Homo-oligomer: A and B are copies of this chain.
């Protein structure tokens, strides 16, 4: 199962270099969203960068309990499991449930490439993000959800139209963004209704 590159010798840092070369593969994992101006599909590595930068930019709007540095770490790590299991559309609930166990195995394999203490630290942070219970995980989850919505709102609803998504799906699957970023969500909802009227969403 382990398809990591055979290691060259970098002393105490050999395992970290193996991990960094292995995660290069995330640049090959395609998402449904395309770059603005109807470009190619976005990949999960550049999405992770965009997500971390969104966390940094929107930090002043986070609640006081949020540690933005932990949110940025979650952004950097959250999609690495897709190297083994691929990206699954947020609106495909059955498929997302089906891969949950595989994602946990992927997290164990990939973060397990690292030495202690990072292996456990990264794995624990990934599980915290996935569980979505802590303030940090909620803020991170909201950013991960709102970014493709913002891209779609600036791209004529590209991935909504290509995947036949309805206004009700977007509103219900992403309602939790409103709990964490209420002011942003209020404006997003207005824009979503306008997008629906323009035919970008069913």
A8 is contacted by which of B16, B147, B186, B191 (Cβ under 8 Å)?
B191
Interface residues of A in 67-90 (CB under 8 A from B): 69, 72-73, 76-77
Main secondary structure of the interface of A (DSSP, over half): helix
Q: Are B10 and A188 in contact (CB under 8 A)?
A: yes
| 0 or 1 for each of A152-187: is its CB under 8 Å from B? (1 = yes) | 011000000000000000000000000000011011
Q: Which chain B residue lies CB-closest to A54?
A: B20
A52 is contacted by which of B8, B17, B27, B49 (Cβ under 8 Å)?
B49
Tell me, in angstroms, the Cα distance from A84 to B30 when the chains sit together: 26
CB neighbours of A61 from chain B (8 A): 12-13
A114 is contacted by which of B27, B57, B72 (Cβ under 8 Å)?
B57
Q: Which chain B residue lies CB-closest to A190?
A: B9
Q: Answer whether residue A46 sits at the interface, using C-beta atoms and an 8 A cutoff.
A: yes
| 0 or 1 for each of A109-124: is its CB under 8 Å from B? (1 = yes) | 0000010011000000
Tell me, in angstroms, the Cα distance from A5 to B151 when the chains sit together: 11
Q: Are B151 and A50 in contact (CB under 8 A)?
A: no
- Distance between A189 CB and nearest chain B CB, rounded to angstroms: 11
CB neighbours of A154 from chain B (8 A): 5, 8, 21
Q: Are A52 and B54 in contact (CB under 8 A)?
A: no
Q: What would be 13 A-B contacts, judged by CB atoms less than 8 Å apart? A: A8-B191, A9-B191, A10-B191, A12-B61, A13-B58, A24-B151, A25-B36, A27-B39, A27-B42, A28-B35, A28-B39, A45-B45, A49-B76
